[in-house]
A and B are shown apart, each in its own frame.
Chain A
Amino acid sequence: MEVSVIKKHLTTIILFALLLILSIWSLFVGVLDVELSGLLQGDSEHLEVFLISRLPRLLAILCTGIGMSVAGLIMQQLCMNKFVSPTTGATISSAQFGILLALLFMPNSTLWGRAVFSFVFAVLGTWIFVWFIQRIQFKDVVMVPLVGIMFGNVIGGITNYLAYKYEITQALSTWLVGHFSMVLRGRYEIVWLTVPLVVLAFLFANHFNIVGMGKDFSQNLGVPYNFVLFLGLTIAAMITASVVVVVGSISYIGLIVPNLVAMFKGDKIRGTLIDTALFGALFVLVCDMVGRMVIFPYELPIELIVGIIGSVLFVALLLYRLRHGRKAIRLNRKEGGVA
């Protein structure tokens, strides 16, 4: 009994252990030397660096990784399409558009003011996108993300145009390329919003699963289709927006992480949500550490590292799927568990 429980949750445990080790390691990577002995002795300088910069950064990374991958998972389930994500569903570009408008109309707005704008527009953008793909009649598996990408390009184009016109391209670029180097105590706390949102997503996981099976099916089971659909999209958009406001845009995590996890664990959200969240956090953490070490003592924004690693992974995933269909990879199932 004990053994089987451990075996069942083996991947989760391994992921958690890896994440823990790397998290602790990442706290000690940086330009200023922070040592454990210094922290334990209460050296004020070490403690300050640790509390103002390193720890917030780690927390922001974890929240980003968990949030973006869960947002991607929800959107993929609800849209019945494996290639939808905050990037390919225009959520990120809408959030950026919201920030731009906040900068334009309320130049003195606080981070919270911008966050509100960003929330509203991210939610609106995602709703409009889903409304679009429900209205246009061709539900080709690849056409949906293509429409999303072009929709995102249009919003991005308008954003760029306005930024160009009012000469705030430079101010905006902070939110266009995601990076963690500005994450300091006092200006990153919005990203904590992802935690209650992810919990909410976990509570509704089974509902999302059912809605993902189609309108008729969910109504037969007594699940209010439209309500759950819009609830799920709103959660995903809010998570994305709170990440974009603090960190900037980070593409691909919501796309790749859920797909990779689903290849091993299948499509049931309750079963994969925790693994997806852990793996997402791990992925972002590794990418961020790579970015911090490549041109030490300078650092590369995480968006670039994710962009490079992520797109290679994504293309590989696509080609794999094309060859093998939607079959999941089965591990250690020699005893006749061919699915």
Chain B
Amino acid sequence: MNTTAVRANRQKLAILAVLVLLCAAGYMLVGVHFDNAKLVQYAMKIRTPKLIVMLITAFAIGGASIVFQSVINNTIVTPCLLGMNSLYTLIHTAVVFAAGSGSILAANANCSFAVDLVLMGVVATVVYSFLFKKTKHNVLYVLLIGTVLSSFFSSIQSTLTRVMDPNEYDNLLATLVASFSNINSEIIAISLIILAAIIFILRRELALLDVITLGKDQAINLGVDYDRCVRRLLLGVTLCIAVATAMVGPISFLGLIIANLSRQLLKTYRHSQLILGSALFGMIVLVGGQLLVEHVYSYTIPVSVFITVGGGVYFLYLLLTKRRT
């Protein structure tokens, strides 16, 4: 890659960053009554955590999606195929079912976040490590089993909801839809720490991503321990998605859209730029979408619906136009 292209990409990323700032500023300031200091303070108190949560989510999902696509070596897959969304719904339902919605495990936001996160992390790590061993690192098989597992999880989940007390089910239902509100600062801090830890532990594998994209044989020729590297990266992806999902609830398709937008815009194979681009696109989509939902549609349609329909149409477009070489 020549330097002019790198510079052009830097400019594009800078433009994206400016757009993110504009969206964020718009989100923070639209509709605030500036003549009353108390109202301004109140609006900031409500909006700041939501904004931070959206930024973290976008970063986690955007980064994870790019890494995932590069590892699978296919740009029309998204980590939600691994079945993390239905695992989240299942774990959440199972906790409410076993402990009751009034218990501290479900009622206390911090406890519930911790339980979701730990269980998801453990189950996902155990299941996917087992699958990798069993399938001898055949990623496509892992993916197919993941989609099957996701319907396995959701079948158990709906079985539980059918046996459950209707009042508890009502309480549960509210927490199963993706939402950016009501997330306290401790959860935000914990998520940030976990994400930073994941990136720190995987720093060597992340640096090798550009090599891994070349394909298995080339990567091994260049001295990469391919299987181990891929396994660690995928576990990292799983944990990132787990953090994002435990924080806001299930969001599908977001990763697919932003990762592909980033690839289309930047047309590069450098993952440092791709991941950054994808995260920035994610921030624009989430913050901008939330802005629209709150002020144009006044909350009648949840932002996840936008993402699903938009993502679906975009996926069809990708299928039709993309020919893998």
Partner of A304, one of B76, B155, B313: B155
Does the CB pair B149–A315 fall under 8 Å?
yes
Q: Provide the residues of chain A in CB contact with B23, threshold 8 Å.
A: none
Partner of B155, one of A153, A158, A295, A307: A307
Complexed CA–CA distance, A146 and B150 (Å) = 13
Give, as a whole number of angstroms, the nearest-CB distance from A325 to chain B. Answer: 13
Over the window 295-307 of chain A, the binary record of Cβ atoms lying under 8 Å from chain B Cβ atoms (1 yes, 0 no) is 1000011011011
Stretch from B32-40, B59-67, B317-325 that touches the partner: B317-325
Known contacts A157-B309, A303-B155; is-contact A319 B324 (Cβ 8 Å) = no
Known contacts A146-B144, A150-B81; is-contact A304 B152 (Cβ 8 Å) = no
Does A149 count as interface, using CB distance less than 8 angstroms? yes
Complexed CA–CA distance, A306 and B143 (Å) = 21
Q: How many residues of B contact A (CB 8 A)?
A: 41
Does the CB pair A136–B324 fall under 8 Å?
yes
Complexed CA–CA distance, A301 and B145 (Å) = 23
Known contacts A295-B163, A308-B152; is-contact A140 B140 (Cβ 8 Å) = yes
Give, as a whole number of angstroms, the nearest-CB distance from A167 to chain B. Answer: 12
Partner of B148, one of A161, A295, A314: A314
Partner of B141, one of A161, A303, A312, A322: A322
| Identity of the chain A residue whose Cβ is nearest the Cβ of B147 in the assembled complex | A149
Does the CB pair A307–B309 fall under 8 Å?
no
Known contacts A304-B159, A319-B134; is-contact A311 B151 (Cβ 8 Å) = yes
Over the window 230-268 of chain B, the binary record of Cβ atoms lying under 8 Å from chain A Cβ atoms (1 yes, 0 no) is 000000000000000000000011000000000000000
Does the CB pair B162–A307 fall under 8 Å?
no
Does the CB pair B145–A318 fall under 8 Å?
yes
Q: Provide the residues of chain B in CB contact with A154, threshold 8 Å.
A: 312-313, 315-316
Partner of B305, one of A140, A146, A164: A164
Q: Provide the residues of chain B in CB contact with A150, threshold 8 Å.
A: 76, 81, 315
Does B138 count as interface, using CB distance less than 8 angstroms? yes
Give, as a whole number of angstroms, the nearest-CB distance from B97 to chain A. Answer: 14
Main DSSP-derived SS at the A contact region: helix
| Identity of the chain A residue whose Cβ is nearest the Cβ of B313 in the assembled complex | A154
Interface residues on A, range: 35 or more
Does A50 count as interface, using CB distance less than 8 angstroms? no
Does B273 count as interface, using CB distance less than 8 angstroms? no
Does the CB pair B155–A322 fall under 8 Å?
no
| Identity of the chain A residue whose Cβ is nearest the Cβ of B142 in the assembled complex | A142
Q: Provide the residues of chain A in CB contact with B211, threshold 8 Å.
A: none
Partner of A146, one of B147, B163, B313: B147
Does B218 count as interface, using CB distance less than 8 angstroms? no
Over the window 145-189 of chain B, the binary record of Cβ atoms lying under 8 Å from chain A Cβ atoms (1 yes, 0 no) is 101110110111011001100000000000000000000000000
Does the CB pair A315–B309 fall under 8 Å?
no
Give, as a whole number of angstroms, the nearest-CB distance from A117 to chain B. Answer: 21
Partner of B77, one of A137, A146, A295, A308: A146
Complexed CA–CA distance, A246 and B252 (Å) = 30
Known contacts A132-B319, A315-B145, A315-B149; is-contact A143 B159 (Cβ 8 Å) = no
Complexed CA–CA distance, A214 and B148 (Å) = 28
Does A324 count as interface, using CB distance less than 8 angstroms? no
Complexed CA–CA distance, A157 and B78 (Å) = 15
Partner of A153, one of B77, B158, B312: B312
Known contacts A158-B312, A300-B162; is-contact A135 B144 (Cβ 8 Å) = no
Does the CB pair A136–B319 fall under 8 Å?
yes
Complexed CA–CA distance, A132 and B323 (Å) = 11
Does the CB pair B309–A161 fall under 8 Å?
yes
Does A147 count as interface, using CB distance less than 8 angstroms? yes
Known contacts A311-B149, A311-B155, A319-B135; is-contact A158 B309 (Cβ 8 Å) = yes
Q: Provide the residues of chain A in CB contact with B138, threshold 8 Å.
A: 322
Over the window 129-155 of chain A, the binary record of Cβ atoms lying under 8 Å from chain B Cβ atoms (1 yes, 0 no) is 000100111101011011101110110
| Identity of the chain B residue whose Cβ is nearest the Cβ of A162 in the assembled complex | B309
| Identity of the chain A residue whose Cβ is nearest the Cβ of B134 in the assembled complex | A319
Does the CB pair A137–B143 fall under 8 Å?
no
Does B125 count as interface, using CB distance less than 8 angstroms? no
Does the CB pair A311–B148 fall under 8 Å?
yes
* Shortest 9 CB-CB contacts between residues of A and residues of B: A307-B155, A311-B152, A154-B312, A142-B140, A157-B308, A304-B159, A138-B324, A311-B148, A304-B155
Chain A interface residues toward B at CB < 8 A: 83, 132, 135-138, 140, 142-143, 145-147, 149-151, 153-154, 157-158, 160-161, 164-165, 177, 251-252, 295, 300-301, 303-304, 306-308, 311-312, 314-315, 318-319, 322
What are 12 inter-chain pairs, A to B, with CB distance below 8 A?
A132-B319, A136-B322, A137-B323, A140-B140, A158-B312, A251-B151, A295-B163, A300-B162, A307-B152, A308-B156, A311-B155, A318-B141
